[in-house]
Structure 1
């Protein structure tokens, strides 16, 4: 059935229900004469009379009644489908699949999930923790969270936080054995623990910043890993100096397991961004997730 015929069927049912071209016209926002003309064209195309018209009323013919008996369930199903769609917009259902690097997954997404689950109990969240760069479209993700505002073409990005301070840390045992660096260049004489970027394979740079001055160094590498938690544990074990985030360092600094070094030279990591493919109409679960992450 083509679209024009389906639309005509809906008009026919509206006229039959209203028993009047005028009342049906008011409901549909069309003039009575336009509806009458449309029905004549429809009857001519089908080769059957569907309505009996008098000056006082409009009633279906016997053929029209048979058609209505088959037509009304289909129209009712369509109304219910549209109502369900509207309900989904008001109370989203379905799945949202997100990839985030480890710090963002634990520091940004996880703290917001309990409130999100209460507000949207019918949305299922799949969170894939991956420190590498991810093509979210190719790998079937709805959104990603990384520290760069534009990771792929045609992405829309939303800033989630401010830059995260880094801390250069070491254990008290290591410092007792090797001393503490007093200037950034002093790290060149220390055992250093470095982070290898999962996708690029390069090492995260050792960059110091203070009052507009930037100093990048390539210290000796005592230990390499692509896991930020492992870096923290290695530093606590006394293997050497390393960079971790201020949030990650805080409990270990408070307990005395780690010591913060050269704090006036410590830079900030870039902000986190939530990014997703540009679409005219976002799926309701994704829209709800974005709202929750940016609230």
Structure 2
């Protein structure tokens, strides 16, 4: 096959995976108009439409999906083969893409990645914090990090962190205006600082458990966030109650900036697990990261 056609096919697979000409162009190091011309040329050469374009997104047609299924595994094999060669030089290279949640990234992933990059500066790591449930195969991630119960059964999973508890907290100023809740049901009369879940589009309902009783409650509020530090800032400012990992708030509780409530109702959550597809051969750099995470670096 002609070299230009191979390059065009690589460009097509990138556009299809990213669902965006802008993102694909950035990955390929070209301009969006040039990439659009490349796709039109490939479609004319093959005689079929491969992509459905709109003003906001791009997606593969049925013919495009069939082409991806046929050629993508071969490109993945080439990428894996090139990555394996790096072991012979003793210098792992390439990019690792990981979807995580910011609490796990800050407390577990960042220290391991920092050690990896110090030892192997040719490696690049892209971390995308997202509270939604992500299809790591479709979106071309090497791995994901979520709570243990969120890991799909067809994935290889590895625990990378201990179980931990959540905490409901509010500022002293907030509790000067409202009484402390005694049970989770009391939260319906309180102001909550909420987290939106991208997968469902709804707000996260706070889980509680005590003496075999499990309930989920959401305190309505004026603020919806998608980052832990922002929720923490609003709680300290007295805007409302926040439901955050225990280690995030313990220093603020000790210093009197926050007050913890409903302690006996806050359950222990299964620790973070790293997961990746069982049928994909891990890259050398990814195997090094696995070793660092196992060792608790």
Residue pair 1:100, 1:129 contacting (<8 A) in 2 also: yes
Residue pair 1:168, 1:260 contacting (<8 A) in 2 also: yes
Tell me the residue number matched to 1:7.
none
Tell me the residue number matched to 2:147.
147
The alpha-carbon deviation at position 86 of structure 1 amounts to: 7.5
Question: What whole-Å deviation, never above 9, does each CA across 1:29-59 have from its counterpart, x for those lacking one?
Answer: xxxxxxxxxxxxxxxxxxxxxxxxxxxxxxx
SS in 2 for 1:221: coil
The alpha-carbon deviation at position 191 of structure 1 amounts to: 1.8
Question: What whole-Å deviation, never above 9, does each CA across 1:201-223 have from its counterpart, x for those lacking one?
Answer: 22222232223332333443343
Tell me the residue number matched to 1:162.
162
Tell me the residue number matched to 1:174.
174
Higher mean alpha-carbon deviation, 136-145 vs 278-287, is at 278-287
Tell me the residue number matched to 2:41.
none
Tell me the residue number matched to 1:117.
117
Instruction: Indicate the structure (1 or 2) with the bigger Cα radius of gyration.
Output: 1
How far apart in 1 are the matches of 2:154 and 2:209? 33
Tell me the residue number matched to 1:190.
190
- Give the TM-score taking structure 1 as reference length: 0.64
Question: What whole-Å deviation, never above 9, does each CA across 1:110-142 have from its counterpart, x for those lacking one?
Answer: 122332223333322222222222222222211
How many residues of Structure 1 are paired with residues of Structure 2 in the alignment?
214
Tell me the residue number matched to 1:105.
105
Residue pair 2:86, 2:93 contacting (<8 A) in 1 also: no
Matches within 5 A, 1:1-295: 85=85, 87-88=87-88, 90-148=90-148, 151-152=151-152, 154-279=154-279, 281-295=281-295
Shift in alpha-carbon separation, 1:281–1:113, aligned structure 2, 3 A: closer
Residue pair 1:149, 1:273 contacting (<8 A) in 2 also: no
The alpha-carbon deviation at position 168 of structure 1 amounts to: 0.4
Long gaps (5+) in structure 2: 1-80
